[in-house]
Amino acid sequence: MMGAADNPFVDRFVSAFAERQARLPGASVPWMRRLRSEAIERFVELGLPTTRDEDWKYTNVAGIGRRAFDVVADVSLEGVGELVAAHALPGTHRLVFVDGHYMSALSQVGALPEGAHIGSLALASVTYADRLAEFFGGGNAADGFGALNEALWSDGAWIDLAPGVVIEEPVHLLFVTNRGDAASFPHNLVQTGDGAGVTVIEHHVGPDDASYLTDAVTRIVVGKSARVNHTKLQQESRKSFHIARIAAEQARDSRFGSHAFAFGAQLARSAIATRLAEGCDTEFVGLYVGDGRRHVDHHTFIDHAEPRGTSRELYKGVLDGSARAVFNGRVIVRPDAQGTDAQQTNRNLLLSDDAEVDTKPQLEIWADDVKCAHGATVGQLDEDQLYYLRSRGIGEADARALLIRAFALETLAGVVFDPLRARLEALLPGRRVQAI
């Protein structure tokens, strides 16, 4: 860990915390205040991760530590309207956050069934503090970024579904950073009762060329037999830093799907984890696209803690220029998790000699009656496929684009919400051939 005591990055946020803690959401709620104080202490203790930490071996965040980011208190809405209009998805309940703060005027939540809450976590921390207390995590952040979020979170979504409540329209959480040098700390909490169901789209955007830090945490509690689908769409500015954790906890017979699409940021890191109780089903799908000198890191963790869980994981990367990607996929099958069926695949397409990927599947199996498989590949475009397309008259650049797109397209298979699918298709690398 970095020597925290004399680190300007740490000092800056400790001062920001001291200055603001009385005004942070939940300040009037003793247990919340205590969690924040513990978190800032843990942040001081941990500092920022370094490449000496096994989990951060290939992702160097020293560049973040040298930057002076500001915690934004007074949000400017200039230019936000266009960003929201450009990124809104029709047919969703939409919550908009600017620089980490909820903007009710830009948000739009339609009629909800009885027993469904969708709104700002900061507001809920006042009115529903007791309810939040049952689910609020914290106190055990794995690294300095997690601790910093727990100390300084400004707002985020609170989605709470009573047992049996299913929300048909996806919930679109749009996080807009609107100024350079901003640090924002979104914190989302999704709680679903037994048999409930919801699709959440967590979407991060920022203006071109702005350099800023997003440090986000999303916690998802999936009730018995509940179904939660979480899609993350990371379209941060190409000069920004994006660090995020998504942690799910699945009660028995539940289904959780995580789809992660990473297109932006100078440096992006997502840690996505779930724990499966008995009979759970999990799908992890990801696509990361890098070019220039950008860096994208995914750490996934699927914890088969109990019997008869099924997990399917597919992550694909397309890397050009001098981009660098990290995929670390950990799957653990604990001694009680008999009858587990787990599959993991990571495939990478390198489009230039200077692009690089570090892929590390980690399968730890402690039960004996299990079916587990994993595979990782790193390669270039297939020469035979290129030649075949060219021999039909398709130019080399088009043929390459066609194959790149075909490679990436597989990760969209589970995206069933049409407006989101259309958005993703437009963002895929490679050329789109007009449909007939």
Partner 1 sequence: MLEIRNLHVTVDDKPILHGLDLSVGPGEVHAIMGPNGSGKSTLAHVLAGREGYVVTDGEVRYLGRDLLALSAEERAREGIFLAFQYPVEIPGVANIYLLKSALNAIRRHRGEAELDAMDFLSLVKAKLRLMEMDESLLYRAVNEGFSGGEKKRNEILQMAVLAPRLAILDETDSGLDIDALKVVAKGVTAMRDPERSMILVTHYQRLLDHIRPDRVHVLAQGRIALSGGPELALELERKGYGWVEAEARKEAGSAAGGVGR
Q: Which of 4, 77, 367, 394 binds partner 1 (CB under 8 A)?
A: 394
Q: Which of 12, 33, 360, 390 binds partner 1 (CB under 8 A)?
A: 390
Q: Is 3 in the site for partner 1 (CB under 8 A)?
A: no
Minimum distance from residue 350 beta carbon to partner 1 (Å): 18
Distance CA 182, CA 99 (A): 7
Give the interface segment with partner 1, choosing from 88-96, 255-263, 294-302, 405-413 (CB under 8 A).
405-413
* Count of residues that bind partner 1 according to CB under 8 A: 25
Q: Is 396 in the site for partner 1 (CB under 8 A)?
A: yes
Subset of residues 239 to 268 that bind partner 1, contact rule: CB under 8 A: none
Q: Is 426 in the site for partner 1 (CB under 8 A)?
A: no
**Cβ proximity to partner 1, 208 vs 383, nearer residue:** 383
Helix 8-20 and helix 30-46: axis angle, to 10°? 170
Q: Is 421 in the site for partner 1 (CB under 8 A)?
A: no
Give the interface segment with partner 1, choosing from 23-31, 54-62, 90-98, 404-412 (CB under 8 A).
404-412
**Cβ proximity to partner 1, 309 vs 429, nearer residue:** 429
**Cβ proximity to partner 1, 217 vs 404, nearer residue:** 404
Q: Which of 88, 126, 129, 389 binds partner 1 (CB under 8 A)?
A: 389
Minimum distance from residue 348 beta carbon to partner 1 (Å): 16
Give the interface segment with partner 1, choosing from 10-18, 168-176, 294-302, 380-388 (CB under 8 A).
380-388
Q: Which of 38, 398, 414, 425 binds partner 1 (CB under 8 A)?
A: 398
Q: Is 332 in the site for partner 1 (CB under 8 A)?
A: no
Q: How many C-beta neighbours within 10 Å does residue 161 have?
A: 26
Q: Which of 34, 113, 395, 418 binds partner 1 (CB under 8 A)?
A: 395
Q: Is 379 in the site for partner 1 (CB under 8 A)?
A: no
Question: CB within 8 A of 129, min separation 6: which ones?
Answer: 26, 29, 32
Q: Is 385 in the site for partner 1 (CB under 8 A)?
A: yes
Q: Is 436 in the site for partner 1 (CB under 8 A)?
A: yes
The residues that touch partner 1, with contacts defined as CB under 8 A, are 383-385, 387-396, 398-399, 402-403, 405-407, 409-410, 433-434, 436
